[in-house]
Amino acid sequence: MGDYAFPCFRLAKALKKSPQIIAEELKNKIQLDENIENMQIIGGYLNFFINKLVLAKVVLQEISDKKELYGSNKSGEGKTILVEYSSPNIAKPFHIGHLRNTVIGSALYKIYKFLGYNTIGINHLGDYGTQFGKMIEGYKRWGNEYTFDENPIDDCMDIYVRINNLCKEDENVLELCRENFKKIEENDPYCVEIWNKLKNMSLKEFQKIYDLLGVKFDSLKGEAFYSDKMDEVVDILDKKGVLKDSEGAKIVDLDDKGMGICMIKKSNGSTIYATRDLAAILYRARTYDFDKCLYVVAYEQNLHFRQIFEVAKYLDIPEKCLNGLEHVAYGMVRLSTGRMSTREGTVVKVDELLQEAIDRVEKIIEEKNPDMENRKEAAKKIGIGAVIFNNLCNTIIKDQVFDWDTALNFNGETGPYIQYIYVRTKSVLEKVENIPELKDVNFEYLQDKASIKVLFSLYDFENILMQVVQKNEPSILARYLINLSQNYSNFYNENKIIDENKEIQDARVALTKAVEIVLKKGANLLGMEMPDRM
């Protein structure tokens, strides 16, 4: 019932007074300045009413001064944040599960960077493990049946499904696959050559998707990079006396902490990804001396990360780094028919999804606006924007059932709606000769309810970004952009912007320019590009 409220209930117990009395005492002691025009007490709340003229002047002036830097600050200065995201498996399709991981991580990376953090984006590629033993075994048996030219990942996928089926039928084949992986660890020339071939083919295909999504990384060090760094981890744990033998395997017992056992080495001497993750923590702490290391990985790996963060306490790394280890868990992506499986060949591939999105948008443009300039470029921005926003608009921990119609729905609270409102602001601004200088703007003409709602939304942008990094939750920004778009749409519908009264026009054009800047910057931070026409 005010612009801001202070609830006095929280003080009642300590002061042994009723909230109403506390509110009255506070009101009597607070001296108003130009920022606050009024205070009211309602049932134990002390409500503050902002001076709307000051609000308009301060917000629009700051956006005009900072432009695309509006909302940024120096809160991250001197702090290093590592964000590990995407991390697809080599020689497997880049599917919609990886897409969600990639766009969540990329958004966090961009927002942390915008807030002044020294941000390092890491693609921890799945380029090691028994699966490569399987791929090598499949390649030995059937490699000459494939060209690996047109669709190399599809060819790899076909081999992977075939070898998995064979492993189910014959335990001996599975044992051969395990031996192949051990040979990679031992630098067997033949196995390493095939492994490198698969890796290079995959990276080339993945890069096409990253280019479409506008995703970048500062480090492409995958699991294999840590293959020669794991012995040190094993030695440290051994010297600390926490490494135990269990049926030939090496483990750390975390049963007393309710986490079961963390396997460090298998009985055949090969390592698992827990060992590699621990080696990565040790390497990153030494290399970056990070304040935070975020792992954007599905919640299915909750136990894994609890285990390795616990075991990492024995690795003699700085307390700051230990405290900064954080698992940013997100919900699984499932098909309406059930769970995806690479082994069964039931995945929705990202390159196909993105192309489908672009094609659908282009078809809509052809029907509704066939003469539109640069329609292919617009279709690309709108289609990809729709897919990105669909992955970020809800709380990330929620599971997502993938459905083509929902992912590519351009109505309602969607990415294309935000882009449409942005294009509307551009259209308004193109109708005026010059954007007015704020010293000439009469802010009295921005005191109606619709204008005030837009101003409050704009004022909140920096606070929204701070909330995103406090909770590692990009959906907070996505929902904000919908809210800002809806508020501007109401303002647009209720106010004539291009007006015969120049003072009225200048004020409303200035507000429109501010919305254009914030919508574009907010969408860019999520990974969306804005079209000039729709």
Annotated catalytic sites, by residue? 92, 95, 98
Question: Could you give the CA distance from residue 119 to residue 248 in angstroms, rounded to a whole number?
Answer: 41
| Cα separations in angstroms, 391 against 217, 397, 399, 414 | 20, 11, 11, 10
Q: Compute how many other C-beta atoms are within 10 angstroms of the C-beta atom of residue 254.
A: 17
Q: Classify the C-alpha dihedral 179-182-186-190 as positive or negative.
A: positive
3-class SS letters over 115-156: CCCEEEEECCCECCCHHHHHHHHHHHHHHHHCCCCCCHHHHH
Of 340, 325, 460, 379, which Cα lies nearest the Cα of 99?
Answer: 340
Q: Which amino acid is at 499?
A: D
For the chain, give the number of residues.
534
| Helix (H/G/I), strand (E/B), else coil: 244 | strand
Number of H helices, E strands in the chain: 20, 12
Question: Could you give the CA distance from residue 185 to residue 390 in angstroms, rounded to a whole number?
Answer: 40
Question: Could you give the CA distance from residue 148 to residue 131 in angstroms, rounded to a whole number?
Answer: 19
**82, containing H or E segment:** strand 80-84
Question: Could you give the CA distance from residue 416 to residue 414 in angstroms, rounded to a whole number?
Answer: 6
Question: Could you give the CA distance from residue 488 to residue 457 in angstroms, rounded to a whole number?
Answer: 9
As given in the structure block, the two tokens for residue 499 are 């007006």
Q: How far is CA 476 from the centre of its chain?
A: 11
Helices 189-213, 96-114: axis angle to 10 degrees equals 60
Pairs from 358-363 (Cβ < 8 Å, separation ≥ 24)? 358/383, 358/384, 359/383, 360/408, 361/386, 361/410, 361/416
| Helix (H/G/I), strand (E/B), else coil: 6 | strand
Q: What residues does 298 pair with on adjacent strands?
A: 330
Of 249, 484, 288, 529, which Cα lies nearest the Cα of 385?
Answer: 529
Q: Compute how many other C-beta atoms are within 10 angstroms of the C-beta atom of residue 65.
A: 10
By the 10 Å C-beta count (0-12 exposed, 13-18 middle, 19+ buried), 527 is classed as buried
Q: Do 358 and 380 contact (CB within 8 A), yes or no?
A: yes
Q: Do 262 and 308 contact (CB within 8 A), yes or no?
A: yes
